[in-house]
Structure 1
Amino acid sequence: MRNYKSYLFLALALFFVPTLHAEVVLPRVFTSGMVLQQGQPVPVWGTAAAGEQITVQFAGQTKKAVADTSGKWQVMLDVLKATVKGRDFTVQGTNTIVLHDVVVGEVWLCSGQSNMLYEMRKNSKVRKPDSLDKNSPVDEMDRPHSPDIRLFWVNQKNLKTTGNYLAKWESATQDSALRSFSAAGYFFAKKLNQELKVPVGIICAAISGSAIEPWAPYEVFTADPYFRLTGINSKADGKFYHTMIEPLAPFAIKGFLWYQGEANMTDDVIYDHKMNALINSWRKTWNDAALPFYYVEIVPYYYSQMKSTAVITPESLPAFWEVQQAALKIPNTGMIITTDLNDDIHNLHPPYKWEVGRRLALLALAKSYNKNIVYSGPVYQSMAIKGSTIELTFANVGKGLASKDGKPLTWFSIAGADGKFVKADAVIDGNKVIVSSPEVTNPAAVRFAWSEDAQPNLFNKDGLPAAPFRTNNPIKFSPN
């Protein structure tokens, strides 16, 4: 089981607030100022002396449980209605715990690597886009913030300590808490709060440079026939899952946000199987096979210029984009496109995290809250060869296709049966794009944005970019 037992021991040791006696103890995610999920039963759990009777009181409800022989107990609060009014949350056994200012609304867990960890303090140093000078998100730290946005940060450094493993819930009005929090996570919560008019709690558990493997338990890889055939990566030790994700469950949440992939960019379709393993394991941990999982397609970057033991070409990144898109076959997932959100392709940590958060929120509002809004840019659907041209059809065109800058469409290429791609002309025709080149009289395939530095101008009129694609040889992935 590799290091599973040691990580599990650490997780359990850090799971509960230390105590010298067999008093009632709550997991650290339960603190004053927390947000409880509306619209679904809410688990409350902890430890106490074996046989001790526990009483939980909140929002007019009283629930009781008896600690089992190992000292564990759990109650389930009935469905709660959203409210901005903070109330006391009381847990009583031989001792009494009273948490204050507890509200009810929406709760999301965001995770991944450094681009999810990218803090609000860095956001304040971003060069302001000219179009946003008057109301720039760069100045967000200088504005009043809603007390109905609550933040909970699982700190990477606390993996190595036995002290303050999980921080307490903080209001976004607390400057020091917001300054250190995920910018993408905060702007996601802000958009949801504005649209839903309810409190929003956002939990961030992310680690810079982390691959996907340690975020899932080791057992999901050993149990999967695919990985038994391909082999299991040495990174698949579950250390981040067991110490940063599992201790949060089954705290009631609405869904997951994921911004990761840079550390796995050289993966092929195996990444989809890793995504499937991770998503299924998290849903199983929360005992909800339908929990939404929304993620970010990584931005353009010169990976081919990095030192690496793997062979990386300018086409390696678009191949990985295709891999990320294929993961949409996993039920109840969604992905946002970010090809337009890096103003320096030598920068692996691009700014504009406010737009990442906003686009994730659009996705959630449409798919999880049934809002009738456009949440995606154009996505390739089908092609038809018409003489010397190829006609492309797209889904998610919104109000229609458009060139963002009003110039001819960019980053289209076309090939004949020989597979040699050349730069192509592309013209919008209603909700279709017609692609051609005088060099290819009998076209067979089209590629779009098929390079690591591609920042194309095909958008929908709702301001969202088209997803990169190729019509020939797309990868095949079927989630198990």
Structure 2
Amino acid sequence: MVARRQHRLLAEPQRPAAAGRPLAARAFAGLLRIARIPVCAGGRKMKTSKKGALALGLFALAPLAHAADSPLLHEMFQDHAVLQRDRPIPVWGEAAPGAEVKVSFAGKTVKAKAGTDGRWEATLPAQKAGGPYTLTASSGAASETANDILVGDVWLCSGQSNMELQVKRGLNTWAEISNAHNDRIRMLKVGLKESMVPRAHFIDPVQWQATTPDTVGEFSATCYYFARELQKRVDVPMGLINSSWGGSRIEAWLSAQALHRLGGFDEQLELLARYADDPLAANTGWGELWTKWWRSAPGVAQGDEPWKDVASSADWTAAPRGLGNYREWTPQLADFTGMLWFRTTFRLDAKQAAQGATLALGVADEVDVTWINGRAVGSSYGGGERNYALPAGLLHEGENTLVVNVLNTWSDGGLTGDAPRALRFADGSSVPLDRGWQYRVVPKQAGTPPQAPWLSAQGKGTLFNGMVKPLGGYGMRGALWYQGESNTGDAAAYRGLLRAYRDDLRAHFGKDLPLFVVQLANFGPAPTQPTESGWAELREVQREVVAEDPRSGLAVAIDIGDRYDIHPANKQELGARLARAARKVVYGEKIAATGPVPRTAKRNGDAVEVSFADVRGKLVAYSAEGPIAFELCGDAPGSCRYAEASLRGSDTVVLRAPVVNPTRVRHAWADSPVVTLFDTDGLPAGPFEIGVE
């Protein structure tokens, strides 16, 4: 079963991708713009002549590929933007198919021609850091201008809630926000919107903003403090793009192409594509995949299919009327985290059964799979209300069954909230679903169920499609990645996923794009004996994947977490450590990027000596003669023992423990270890496992 720390973090309810507006509505919005009626255009100014307005107005009504309300410049190019320095600058947008577009910036003008789909792209000459400049695009009588453009270094900040966590939720927030006056750090926040298909434009409007007390509080603390610290050494404008979503899995941030290349996702991606056109058919297919998992899950008896076998009363208990948070029902459920089955029945007359309907299930916290009469009809993620469309023919006269499986991985859960549960029919009538509910607890050994591929932050490619793809090929200096809490249950799979994420970014933003990974911070109870840890395993994957790539860097956070809070507040120090890694990897500064890293572990008599590289000054142990959190292990699971450790010289730790022929050394191997080994720069030796030579 999912560990209690694998949970939604700042999660948003599942929301379907917004549908495009009808052509008439788009044409009308275009005519409003052309007639110079004020229409928000993301901080840009657009103008046409009267003659051009008439011509473009008639053109806007034609059923062509170019949407009538699409501005010439893509929304990334607007007032206060930052463009990447020292390399050619890609700029793009939309115009009439075949139209010529002129783009001017910093005294240079280039031309482009719109394709048959209306998209155009131009490349401006490289510029040194500076500004402000004006960016202008024109086509025929129409022109559009973005003002106050800076040229500097642009960074993509992505991940889950610890990247999303705002400045206002960190340390020393009053002073940090009050003193945030920096026009040379510009910020853009991507809205939380998933999509079933790759999108050229953001679903929610985006806006570049200068750093002020009014803007910085809602922005990513990690991202902001990174740029602020880096700017002390790299004196250029910084552009920050925050595209993150609490509780998200890494699979949601990978493109379909990357997932196909990685393998094992083809069937789910096919269902995702089907969901965009036919959600019910996709849910039926997902129900079949979910059934395969259930039948093979440990602890599930052969033939146990609760969505079908509604006559069985074994292990089912009457639920309180109104349902609600299941942790309040019984002492046995007070601390339960996992899956519960819920079921009820309802009777329909012939008229009701013949109609289509909407199942209003209320709030499900946090992942549900829902069946009507043995057929899967919906699956969503997050703490929002579930409303599933039921076509005519699914319901029948007489008794019908409703069965819901709800997975909760953190805190309160179940079918919660005050929203009424009911079947609402096409003719306006409804049948309440407020009584007769039963529940059944799923044994934890059943494990973690698969997640439907369209589940926003838990899906397959959904956040890439809605929150990364619209960035196009925007020029960037590098990317920061703080994610992994939601994937700690399968560190082995994370290795391939993290490599795929790195390669996917480079496929879209440049083959040499540097990636800086935050290693998961400490969280949870401190260990009292050696133990296995999914968090430690995932940290080791992060360390090894970064170490294999010279264009990647690691920020160790094992000493700045909070054992009581998965969202540690000290993002200032984290930003400084990310900036330090960037100074080494991107800017070539001759410093240790991350602090002490293990080099070798060798036997020497009854001891094992671990030598470290990247030590600034020398190794030091805080609050004791020697460091703690070291283990010596044999090959077998459960063979690890805490080691007595002492320092020798400037870069070596000597270990002794009652282990015959140790083959492995582990350091800080727990969810929330206590680390006391640092160097004189104050950087910790991070978690690791290495073999003994």
Per-residue CA deviation, residues 272-296 of structure 1 (Å, 9 max, x unaligned), is 111122222221122x221111110
Q: Among 571, 574, 597, which residue is 1:379 paired with?
A: 597
> 1:271 maps to which residue?
494
Structure whose alpha-carbon radius of gyration is higher: 2
Residue matched to 2:282 = none
Alignment correspondent of 1:107: 154
For 1:55 and 1:440, locate their aligned partners in 2 and report how far apart those are by CA, in whole Å: 72
Q: How does 1:116-155 map to 2 (within 5 A)?
A: 116-123=163-170, 126=171, 139-155=175-191
Q: Does residue 661 of structure 2 align to residue 435 of structure 1?
A: no
Q: Which residue of 2 aligns with 1:464?
A: 683
2:206 to 157, 167, 172: 167
Residue 111 of structure 2 contacts residue 122 of structure 2 at CA under 8 Å; is this kept in 1? Answer: yes
The CA deviation at 1:192 is 1.9
Which of 62, 66, 91 is equivalent to 2:137? 91
Counterpart code for 1:465:
P
- Is the CA contact (8 Å cut-off) linking 2:157 and 2:241 kept in structure 1? yes
C-alpha distance 8-257 of structure 1, shift in aligned 2 (>3 A): farther
Aligned to 2:75, the other structure's residue is in SS state coil
Task: Give deviations 1:384-439, integer Å, cap 9, x for gaps.
Answer: 10001111111211222112446531111224677732222211112333333363
Structure 1 residues 449-458 or 426-435, which shifts more?
426-435
User: Residues 230 and 471 of structure 1: is their aligned pair in 2 closer, same or farther, counting only changes over 3 Å?
Assistant: farther
Q: Which letter maps to 1:264? A: N
The answer for the alignment partner of 1:289 in structure 2 is: 511
Report the residue type matching 2:137 in the other structure: V
- Whether 2:108 is the aligned partner of 1:61: answer yes
Change (3 A) 1:39 1:404: farther
Alpha-carbon distance between aligned partners in 2 of 1:473 and 1:263, rounded to the nearest angstrom: 31
- For residue 24 of structure 1, report the CA deviation from its aligned partner: 4.7
Aligned partners of 1:379 and 1:395 also within 8 Å? yes
CA distance in 2, matches of 1:229, 1:470: 35
Whether the 8 Å CA contact 2:491–2:534 is kept in 1: the answer is no
For residue 322 of structure 1, report the CA deviation from its aligned partner.
1.1
Q: Quick one: which amino acid aligns to residue 114 of structure 2?
A: A
Distance in 2 separating the partners of 1:33 and 1:293: 25
The answer (yes or no) to whether the contact 1:414–1:440 under 8 Å persists in 2 is: yes
Using the size of structure 2 for normalisation, the TM-score is: 0.59
Distance verdict in 2 for CA 1:196–1:61, change over 3 Å: same
Aligned pair in 2 of structure 1 residues 397, 53: CA closer, same or farther (>3 Å)? same
The alignment yields a C-alpha RMSD, in angstroms, of: 3.1
Residues 35-434 of structure 1 aligned to structure 2 (within 5 Å)? 35-83=82-130, 85-93=131-139, 94-123=141-170, 126=171, 139-156=175-192, 165-173=204-212, 175-225=213-263, 234-235=452-453, 236-286=459-509, 288-302=510-524, 315-328=533-546, 329-330=548-549, 332-342=551-561, 344-405=562-623, 407-415=625-633, 420-434=639-653
Contact 1:153 1:166 in 2 (8 A): no
CA contact (8 A) 2:268 2:452 kept: no
Structure 1 portions without partners, runs of 5+: 1-5, 129-136, 306-312, 475-480
Deviations 1:270-329 (A, max 9, x none): 10111122222221122x221111110111122899xxxxxxx75222122112212222
On the 8 A contact 2:72/2:143 being kept in 1, the answer is no
The answer to whether the 8 Å contact 1:8/1:243 transfers is no
Q: Tell me how far 1:228 sits from its aligned partner.
A: 6.9
Amino acid at match of 2:205: L
Contact 1:374 1:396 in 2 (8 A): yes
> In the aligned structure 2, how far is the partner of 1:164 from the partner of 1:145?
30
The number of residues matched between the two structures is 441
1:117 and 1:57 map into 2 onto residues whose CA distance is 35
What SS class does the counterpart of residue 610 from structure 2 fall into? strand
1:369 Cα offset (Å)? 0.9
Alpha carbons of 1:357 and 1:49: their partners in 2 closer, same or farther (altered >3 Å)? same
Q: 8 Å contact 1:366–1:373 — kept in the other structure? A: yes
In structure 2, distance between residues paired with 1:211 and 1:140: 30
Whether the 8 Å CA contact 2:627–2:646 is kept in 1: the answer is yes
Go from structure 1 to structure 2 and tell me whether the alpha carbon gap of 1:164 and 1:268 turns closer, same or farther (over 3 Å shift).
Answer: closer
Shift in Å at residue 90 of structure 1?
A: 1.0
How far off is 1:347 after superposition? 0.9
Q: Which residue of 1 aligns with 2:672?
A: 453
SS in 2 for 1:223: helix
Q: Distance in 1 between matches of 2:224 and 2:642?
A: 40
Tell me the SS of whatever aligns to 1:263. helix
Shift of 1:445: 3.4
SS at match of 2:214: helix
Q: Distance in 2 between matches of 1:269 and 1:438?
A: 28
Distance 1:79 1:407, change over 3 A: same
**Kindly tell me: are residues 202 and 417 of structure 1, through their superposed partners in 2, closer, same or farther at Cα, counting changes over 3 Å?**
closer
Counterpart Cα distance in 2 of 1:424 and 1:230: 46
Moved more, 452-461 or 438-447: 438-447
CA distance in 2, matches of 1:91, 1:432: 58
TM-score, with structure 1 as normaliser: 0.84
